[in-house]
Each structure stands twice: as C-alpha cells, then as structure tokens.
Structure 1
Amino acid sequence: MARIFGGEQTEGNTNRVVGTYGYMSPEYAMEGLFSIKSDVYSFGVLLVEIITGIKNSGFHLEDCDSSNLVGHVWDLWREGKAMEIVDKSMYEESSHSSVHEVLRCVQIGLLCVQEQATDRPTMSSVVFMLGNDNPLPSPKQPAFIGTIRSNKNGDATWTGTTEGGSSINDVTISTFHGR
C-alpha cells in the first residue's frame, strides 16, 4: 500500500481493491479507502501471527467464538489469558521479563489492528514502542470480529459486532467457480 502514495499524500481511494483479505485494513477491504494506517493494520496481523505461530487465514479452533486469529487473541487479551495462545518458542516460562516482552508485543499487535484507522499508531510509533519500554495505551476492539457462515451456494456471510454487541456490517463474500 505504501507504494501507492505520492509525495505528501496521507490517504486515498481506489476503485480496485487488491491484496490478501486477512491482512487488509477494514477501510480498504470494505470501501477501497487507504491511508498511512493501512500498512500498520497489515503489520499488526503479521505481528500476531509471529507471536502465536498461527496464520490468520487458516485459523480454526474448536470451542472458539472468534472466526479469525486476531479476534481470538483479542478475546484472550480481554480475559487476561493472552499467553495461552503464544507460541512456546517465543519465551521462557521461567523468565518474567520474557513473558513481559511477549505480552507487550501482543499489545502492540492489537494496537495496530484496531478497527478505526485513527486509533492505530503510525509505523514510526510502532517501531518506537517495540524498541522502548514506555507504557502503552490499551488497545480498542480490532476490526473483523464476527462470525463467518457458509450458505448452500458456497458463499460466505460475515456478521461483525461492536463491543456493545450491535451489528456493524453484513458482508457477503462470493466465491467464483469455473465451469
């Protein structure tokens, strides 16, 4: 996305949305709007994948209300159980500082995938947060928290929810099949 920008441009709109859906910011995937915060969203998804050792696109757990990795990490973060999904090779259980660093990275990843682009940090802020131990703000709800269901035609319908439980969007994702 960063290559699309020209000169001093900080946001834009495109008629053709391209990219991998699991890494696209919600404003780009839904409306074709991109900004300097679009790549921050993608980086946040990647950071969460690295920490957990699980790909966002192939995420599926039994007894899990979330339909994607970011949503599941968010749920665990809110419950104070984020270390449950962290890849064991990322830290030493006996080291308090190691656990603190991993939880800090989870928090930074969640800050990057917040639903509203204005709430996400800039990439320079992310780099600063990763390299320093200053206090971090609490993340707000990430985008695309919801349920994906398939209908009889093979199309997937996603219903998202806000923290209050009301619906944000109903989006139908069509799957094309060759003849």
Structure 2
Amino acid sequence: MIAHAWNLLEENRSLELLDQAVCGGCSPAELEHVTTCIQVGLLCVQESPSQRPQMAVVIPMLSHQQVPGRPLRPVVCTPVRTPADLLNVVNTSSNELTITNLEGR
C-alpha cells in the first residue's frame, strides 16, 4: 500500500487512493486536505525515525498551519534485484556473493 501511495503521489494522482463514492461529494478544499493527509502519512512511514515528523509537527500539518515537507522514496519502493540480476553480478565479479534468507520466528 505504501508503494502504491508513493507511486500515485509521484504521478500527482494521489486522489486515486480515495474511494470514488466519497470523492464525488468533496469540495476542492477537502480534496486538497486528502492530498495533505496522504503526504503526511508518507512522511510518517519513512525508514529512519529521524526522518519521520514528531506528533507535535504532524498536528499543525494536518490542520494546514504548517506545510508538510516532501517525503523521501520509501524503502519498500526501492527496486529489488531479481535472482537473474544477482547471477550476472556473480559471473562478472571476482567478489563472493552471499544470499541470506531471513525467516521470522
């Protein structure tokens, strides 16, 4: 969902996250508020806690007393190498490559 919201924000289509049943009756000001909420939400899911806004800053952003900053690309949106890409790295490099599969408890 984060990756989808980011992609829509990047394409200036973040209002597509809003249910069409709700969107039809919204004023332009309300639609602008929705866009702000999406942007603030993406700020709140930044990888590093130091990049996330504190709640004392979030509230003024949501009440339009402060303009939210531009979020950075979330880690979940970073392209992932495919196994074929990894094999090409191994075949063209003299370095050894270790792949670790992590499993939760």
Q: TM-score range by the shorter chain?
A: 0.5 to 0.7
Larger Rg: 2
Q: Structure 1 residues 106 and 138 mapped into 2: Cα distance closer, same or farther (>3 Å)?
A: same
For 1:118, the equivalent position in structure 2 comes to 50
For structure 1, the residue ranges without an aligned partner over 5 or more in a row are 1-68, 149-169
Greater fraction of residues in strand: 1
SS of aligned partner of 1:97 = helix
Do structure 1's residue 98 and structure 2's residue 33 form an aligned pair?
no
Post-superposition Cα deviations, 1:85-111, rounded to whole Å, max 9, x if no partner, equal 222355445510111010010010011
- Correspondences of 1:31-110 after superposition (within 5 Å): 69-92=1-24, 95-110=27-42
Conserved in 1, the CA contact under 8 Å of 2:5 and 2:14? yes
Do structure 1's residue 141 and structure 2's residue 73 form an aligned pair?
yes
User: TM-score with structure 2 length normalisation?
Assistant: 0.65
Q: Structure 1 residues 98 and 143 mapped into 2: Cα distance closer, same or farther (>3 Å)?
A: same
User: TM-score with structure 1 length normalisation?
Assistant: 0.41
Following superposition, the deviation at residue 131 of structure 1 comes to: 2.2
Tell which has more relative contact order, 1 or 2 (C-alpha 8 A, sep 6+). Answer: 2
Following superposition, the deviation at residue 130 of structure 1 comes to: 1.5
- Cα RMSD (Å) of the superposition? 2.7
Once residues 108 and 101 of structure 1 are traced to their aligned partners in structure 2, the CA distance between those partners, rounded to angstroms, is 10
Conserved in 1, the CA contact under 8 Å of 2:6 and 2:74? yes
Once residues 175 and 137 of structure 1 are traced to their aligned partners in structure 2, the CA distance between those partners, rounded to angstroms, is 34
Conserved in 1, the CA contact under 8 Å of 2:60 and 2:66? no
Once residues 72 and 41 of structure 2 are traced to their aligned partners in structure 1, the CA distance between those partners, rounded to angstroms, is 11
The count of residues paired between Structure 1 and Structure 2 equals 87
Identity within the alignment, %: 29
Do structure 1's residue 127 and structure 2's residue 59 form an aligned pair?
yes
Conserved in 2, the CA contact under 8 Å of 1:92 and 1:99? no
Once residues 100 and 38 of structure 2 are traced to their aligned partners in structure 1, the CA distance between those partners, rounded to angstroms, is 28
For 2:85, the equivalent position in structure 1 comes to none
Once residues 95 and 143 of structure 1 are traced to their aligned partners in structure 2, the CA distance between those partners, rounded to angstroms, is 33
Conserved in 2, the CA contact under 8 Å of 1:113 and 1:143? no
For structure 2, the residue ranges without an aligned partner over 5 or more in a row are 81-98
